[in-house]
Amino acid sequence: MLNFFKKEKEEFKILSPVDGELIPLAKVPDEVFSQKIMGDGFAVTPNGTTVVAPLSGTAASVFPTGHAVGIQTKDGIECIVHI
């Protein structure tokens, strides 16, 4: 007999990477993000100039122009900061 144990989903916090107004992805004028092709998330209309990591992890990838950084946590959560 096989026993399957349901793993509880871990809760984690993602902070805003920049000061500004939080807006839903559906309002972003880029279809890749507004249609959630890259996954779920949020957008910020910035009124600050400093961008920080929204969660603790390792920069797993950096786009050559520096406008996007992929972050991966020790638990395997992946996040993209796209500027």
- Write the pLDDT tens digit of every residue in 47-76: 989 999 999 999 999 999 999 999 999 988
SS3 45: strand
Residue 82 a catalytic site member: yes
- pTM of this prediction? 0.76
Angstrom distance (rounded) from CA 30 to CA 32: 6
Backbone angles phi, psi at 25, to 5 degrees: -55, -35
- Of the residues 30, 34, 82, 83, which is catalytic? 82
Nearest to 80 by CA among 13, 26, 17: 17
- The rounded percent of the chain whose pLDDT value lies above 70 is 88
Q: Residue 59 pairs with which residues in a beta bridge?
A: 71
How high is the mean pLDDT of the chain?
A: 87
Whole-number pLDDT of residue 76: 87
User: Amino acid identity, residue 59?
Assistant: A
- The rounded percent of the chain whose pLDDT value lies above 90 is 69
Q: Over the Cα atoms of the chain, what is R_g?
A: 15
82 has pLDDT over 80: yes
Cα 41 to chain centroid distance, Å, stands at 6
